Chain A
Amino acid sequence: METDSGNNQEHSNLPKELHNLEAYMEEFTSFLPLAVLIISSKKVIVETNEAFSKITGYELNEPIGSLLSDYFIEQNNLQRLIESVNGDKGDIGETELTLVLKDGSVLRSTVTIGTRRDIDGSLTGYYIGISPLVSKPAPAPISNDVEKNEVKSEINDDTANSEAVRSEQQKHVAIIDAMKNGLLVIDDNGNIDTINTHATEIFSVERQNIQGKPLSLLSEAIDLTDLSEVIKSTPDESRKIMVNNQTYDVEVKVMNTDDGTEYTLVILHNISKDEFIEDMKLTFVTVAAHQIRTPLSSIRWSLEILASQLEDEEQRDIAQRGYRSTQNVLEIVNALLNLDRLQSGEDGFNFEPTDIQAMISEYVDQVKANDHIIEQADIVYNKPDNSLPKVKADQEKISIVIRNLIDNALKYTPTDGIITVNTSVHVTNDYGSDMIQIEVKDNGIGIPVDSQEKIFSKFYRADNATKLKTDGTGIGLYISKHIIDEHDGIIWFESTEGEGTTFYIQLPIAQIQD
């Protein structure tokens, strides 16, 4: 492709070249599955792409002009990531950060950063690549400094080209090299137009030996041209290939530039690593479940016995506090296990007609049986006169939500608490079926207005909650929302700081044929 290497270009062609280049870049970045942001040296967003919109829910140009730091939670880590690339030209930094989406929810992501520099090497800004970790854990980072520097120096040596074209090219190189997947661009003669660092590693080739050469040089075992032919007729289909004993998911897309040249983009995603990580995660869950919870259970139970048998009041008090702390640790371990299981989608949801009334009664009774809680708050479940129809729910998961809401009401109502749980049939208007509504009302500390938008975000805790209880995880409501969404239900709240909070859930009623 003429815009790629930029050698031997005439100045008179420049406007056309620039135009093509821009069109190409636009198409290129919009196609990229990687969310890309370009920011100025002052960390203001100057460019974004479709993948970023898709992930975050922002309109394509909406983030432009805002600060990069608005989109991440860990400000210190973000700052550190930016600083990590300020030194060496061409360095690439990478870390895990929590991306804040438009709806206030968050997404754990791998964030890659590269610097933008002008012809003199002065810093003009940064390229940011963002890949979410949720469904497919990212493979281990691969160092690609050497090859990238070679490409950059190639570009820097080229004096026939304009600065603008050069800057676009640097952008292009940095973006594709920041990708965690292998990427190839093949021209309509079947030659390799572009190959990123990751792809050179997959095929064990040197970039300078392969760029501009026929695809067949890559590996005799893989005919990627054939593959692209197949997928041309059925776009979006993904295929698997084996290279050097690793399994790759291959995505192929054909794109046309303004001048009618056809390029084929090939993206290789190593799924062997994903499978390995999945295995590791499963093992971790089992280990955590058994090896951590078992000793914690013994500690908790020993303290329970001590608390009930010690004669000395001071000693008894210490044992009681130890008991509660252990209980907190167990809750955190359980919350993390639940989160892990939900996110990996291992469990799936098993919907069946569920007696929500019985579930609430049982838990409320269990809470009431705990003397320590009852000293601090009064909890009442107002059962309706007629028993409610069953809801369509996954019993285990819905019980996590009920427990979370009741536990939160108790936790954040420090004194003279009155917790009321109500259930009713909510008749929906016009269309849609009836729902069961569950309310959990407390007279506790409430949720401050500026925290209300973020309250369902992962690891988020309102300031007044953190002050009252330093040991919360910020996971409970995130999990609850996730579970209710999976049930086609709704969860929301009404809250006034200092007065209390009411959480509402609506769940669909189970149909008779269910």
Chain B
Amino acid sequence: MDNQYTLLLVEDDSFLIEILVKKFKDNNFNVIHAGNGKDALRKAHDEDPDIIMLDIILPGMNGFEILEKLKNDETVADIPVAFLSNLGQKEDIEKGNKLGAVDFIVKANHSLDEIVKRTEELIKKHRNL
């Protein structure tokens, strides 16, 4: 399909992964999943996704550290990265912005429909830049 986006989802909660993967697939996304930082960095290289959605609290490297590594790596630095986490205190959001995240979505505040819509908008916006 010509309108298919590829999403790299970095998340460690298996039930959330299942739900998110299903929802994004239903909305015509190609979804790749990574459960930790190492895996995420490798898949960002190999799959060249349209967008990366990052959880913050993860085993090993946390979301901020992963973002920093992504932005320091020329080949993947241009891929937009958004946080999808249940943290969301002001200092978390500011830290994310400073490191170059394009959005900060607090899981608890949004329905799946809203998240899919927002993800599509982020990709479109990035392509038009």
Contacts and interface: CB of A to CB of B under 8 A. Distances in A.
B23 A301 contact: yes
A297 B107 contact: yes
Interface stretch (A65-73, A196-204, A267-275, A288-296): A288-296
A297 to B, nearest CB: 4
A334 B114 contact: no
B112 A304 contact: yes
A294 B107 contact: yes
A298 B108 CA distance: 9
B16 A294 contact: yes
Interface residues of A, number: 24
Contacts of A330: 108-109
A514 interface: no
A366 B117 CA distance: 11
B61 to A, nearest CB: 17
Contacts of B109: 330, 334
**Chain B interface secondary structure, helix, strand, loop or mixed?**
helix
A305 B23 contact: yes
Interface string B96-129: 0000000000011101111001000000000000
A18 interface: no
B19 A301 contact: yes
A304 B90 contact: no
Contacts of A334: 108-109
B19 A293 contact: no
Contacts of B117: 369
Residue from A289, A304, A366 with most neighbouring chain B CB atoms (10 Å): A289
A131 to B, nearest CB: 29
B22 interface: yes
Contacts of B22: 305
A303 to B, nearest CB: 10
A302 interface: yes
B3 interface: no
A290 B87 contact: yes
A294 B86 contact: yes
B74 interface: no
B89 interface: yes
A290 B111 contact: no
A294 B13 contact: yes
Nearest to B118: A366
Contacts of B35: none
A333 interface: yes
Contact of B88 (A289, A298, A301): A289
A302 B108 contact: no
A399 to B, nearest CB: 11
A313 interface: no
Nearest to A403: B109
Contacts of A347: 89-90
A341 interface: yes
A369 B87 CA distance: 25
B122 to A, nearest CB: 15
Given A304-B112, A305-B112, A330-B108, A289 B16 contact: no
A301 B26 CA distance: 14
A304 B111 contact: yes
Given A293-B108, A333-B108, A334-B108, A305 B89 contact: no
9 contacts: A289-B89, A293-B107, A297-B86, A298-B13, A305-B22, A305-B112, A330-B109, A350-B90, A369-B114
Given A285-B89, A294-B16, 11 more contacts: A286-B87, A289-B87, A290-B86, A294-B86, A301-B16, A301-B20, A302-B19, A304-B113, A330-B109, A333-B108, A350-B90
Interface of A: 285-286, 289-290, 293-294, 296-298, 300-302, 304-305, 330, 333-334, 341, 347, 350, 366, 369-370, 396
